[in-house]
Structure 1
Amino acid sequence: MKKYAGYMIDLDGTIYRGKEKIPAAKDFIERLQAKEIPFLFVTNNSTQAPEKVVANLAKNFDIHVTVDNIYTSALATADYLHDLTTKKQTVYVIGELGLKQALLAKGFTFEEVTPDYVVVGLDYDVTYHKFELATLAIKRGAKFIGTNADTNLPNERGLVPGAGSVIALVECATQMKAKYIGKPEAIIMDKALQKMGLTKEQVAMVGDNYMTDIQAGINCGIDTILVYTGVSTKEQVATKEIKPTYELDSLAEIEI
C-alpha cells in the first residue's frame, strides 16, 4: 500500500458513527500525529464552526486536534467565493452559524434584497420567509451557491433531511441549479489541497461513502481509501465502474 505525504479524512462513518466510536479511528489519528504527517478532516457539514468540531472530537471521541485540521463545506464555500473576486461582495444565507461565520471571516456582508450571492446550506430553523428571500434574490440575478448536495443525514432517529433537500426547494422555486461546493465536487478537494500545501499525487482521501468521499477523490484525481465502517458496502462498490484505490475493513489497515 502506498504511503502518502498527507491525508484527507471524512468524519461521520469514518472517524465515528453518530455518537458511536469507531475503535481504530483514535489510533489512526495518533499514528499520523506521531509521525507528523499532515491531515485534514474534510466534511460536508456546514452547520458547525471548526471549534465545535474540535470540541466534539475531544469530548466524545478522545481525539485531540486543532482547528487547522478541520475543513468544512462552509469554509470551502467561503474560500471559493472569496477567490472569485477582489471586490467586496454581499451574500444572503440560508444556513447555520458555521456557514455565516465562515463567510463573515472572508469579508462578506449580509444583504437580503440584492445580494451578489445566495448561499444555501443546512438550516435547522428554515422558514418559508427565508426561502422566499432566497428565491426572489436569485430571480433578481444573484448567483446561486449550494454548500453540498447531501439529501439526507443519518442520526439516531433515522435519515433526516440534509442540505441537499433544503437547496432542492430553492432549485424548484427558481428553476435554476445551484453551484455545489462540497463532496463529491472537486471544488472542496482543490481548496483542501491549497490549505494543506500538497499536490494531488501526495495525498489520499479516506472515507466510508463511495458516492461522496470516494467520488470526490475520483473527480479531483486523488487516490482514495474506502473503509467499510459506514455507508457503502462491498456489494455496492463491486457494481461501480471506477473502484477506490484501496478498499479496507478498518483504518488500522492503513500503512503510514
Structure 2
Amino acid sequence: MANTRAEVEAWLTDMDGVLVHENHALPGAPELIQQWLDAGTPFLVLTNNSIFTPRDLAARLRSSGLNVPEDRIWTSALATADFCRSQMPGGSAFVIGEAGITTALHEAGFVMTETNPDYVVVGETRNYSFEAITKAIRLINNGARFISTNPDATGPSQEGVLPATGAISALITKATGREPYVVGKPNPMMFRSAMNKIGAHSENTGMIGDRMDTDIVAGIEAGLHTVLVMTGISDEAEIAKYPFRPDEVIAGVHELLDGPAESEL
C-alpha cells in the first residue's frame, strides 16, 4: 500500500460528492482530471450507479464541466459484467435494470433470457416492474444465481430519497430466502476490477471518496491509499463512528492539485 500520496501512481475516485454535486463540478475537479490526463496518470472515475453507460456518464459529466473520457469511467454495472464473465463466460442472465447493466452484460458476451438463466442480475432502475420482480423470484427459486450491482438501499432526487437497488434486492431476498452477491462498493472486488482495467496495483494506487462506509472501507480492504474528502456526506462526527481511518482527510479534491495548494495530512 502507498503510505504517502507521493507514492501514488494511479487513482480511483468516486464521482458524486467528490467530483460533482447536483450536476455541478466541485472546486478543483476539472483541474484535477486535466492534470491526470496531461500527466498520463492512470485513473478511473467510479460510481455505484448502474443505470447509465460510460458514454452517458461522460456526456453528463461534460455538461457539469468535467472532461472525463468514457474509457476512464468504471460503473458497478461494468464491474458486475466483468465478474459474471469471469465466473461463467458466455453465460445468460435475466436482468432488472437499465442500459448501463444490459449493455455491459451484452458486451461481456452474455445472453439476456427469461428461460433458465445462469444469473438473475438486479441493477438500478426507475421503472421497477412487479411482473419482473416476480419473474426474478421464480427464477432464483429454480436455481438461478442472484447477483446485485450495488447495495445502496436509497438514491437521491430533488424531491427526496428514492428506493434503489438494495431495497429491491431486499424484497427478492425476503421472498426467496437468498441473499445476492453484491459486486459494487463496498465490495473491494469493484476496486480490483477497476485496477485490472488500468493495469494498476494496490501498492501504488489511491482511492478518493466521500463515504466512510463504502469508499474508504473498500479502499482499505483493497490495500489502497485512502483519501476522504469533506465535500460529500461525511463530517467529523461521521468519521468518528468508524473503527478505521482514511490515510488522509482533506477539504476537497482541490487539495490534490499540484503546486502550493497540495497538502499532506
TM norm structure 2: 0.92
Shift of 1:255: 5.5
What do the CA deviations read for 1:118-149 (whole angstroms, capped 9, x no partner)?
00011211111001110000000000001000
Q: 1:80 aligns with which of 80, 83, 94?
A: 83
1:47 matched to 2:76: no
For the 8 Å contact 2:32–2:257, the answer to whether it is kept is: no
C-alpha separation between the residues in 1 aligned to 2:138 and 2:35? 50
Shift of 1:85: 2.7
- 2:40 corresponds in structure 1 to 36
Give the secondary structure class of the aligned counterpart of 1:252: helix
- 2:222 corresponds in structure 1 to 220
What do the CA deviations read for 1:181-206 (whole angstroms, capped 9, x no partner)?
00000111110010010110111110
Question: Which piece of structure 1 moves more, 24-33 or 68-77?
Answer: 24-33
Shift of 1:241: 1.1
Shift of 1:28: 1.5
- 1:174 corresponds in structure 2 to 176
- 2:136 corresponds in structure 1 to 134
1:18 matched to 2:34: no
For the 8 Å contact 2:5–2:225, the answer to whether it is kept is: no
- 2:261 corresponds in structure 1 to none
Correspondences of 1:184-199 after superposition (within 5 Å): 184-199=186-201
C-alpha separation between the residues in 1 aligned to 2:203 and 2:234? 25
C-alpha separation between the residues in 2 aligned to 1:69 and 1:21? 17
Q: 1:161 aligns with which of 163, 172, 180?
A: 163
C-alpha separation between the residues in 2 aligned to 1:20 and 1:155? 15
Shift of 1:245: 0.9
C-alpha separation between the residues in 1 aligned to 2:115 and 2:35? 50
1:65 matched to 2:68: yes
For the 8 Å contact 2:48–2:185, the answer to whether it is kept is: yes
- 2:150 corresponds in structure 1 to 148
Shift of 1:113: 3.0
For the 8 Å contact 1:184–1:219, the answer to whether it is kept is: no
Question: Which piece of structure 1 moves more, 136-145 or 158-167?
Answer: 158-167
For the 8 Å contact 2:17–2:210, the answer to whether it is kept is: yes
C-alpha separation between the residues in 1 aligned to 2:106 and 2:241? 43
Listed as ranges, the gaps of 5+ residues in structure 1 are none
Give the secondary structure class of the aligned counterpart of 1:155: coil
Give the secondary structure class of the aligned counterpart of 2:51: coil
For the 8 Å contact 1:122–1:163, the answer to whether it is kept is: yes
C-alpha separation between the residues in 1 aligned to 2:232 and 2:159? 16
Q: 2:208 aligns with which of 197, 206, 209?
A: 206
- 2:262 corresponds in structure 1 to none
TM norm structure 1: 0.96
C-alpha separation between the residues in 2 aligned to 1:18 and 1:130? 31
For the 8 Å contact 2:120–2:139, the answer to whether it is kept is: yes
Q: How many residues end up aligned between the 2 structures?
A: 254
For the 8 Å contact 1:113–1:133, the answer to whether it is kept is: no
Q: 1:107 aligns with which of 96, 99, 109?
A: 109
Identity of aligned residues (%): 34
- 2:263 corresponds in structure 1 to none
For the 8 Å contact 1:18–1:155, the answer to whether it is kept is: no
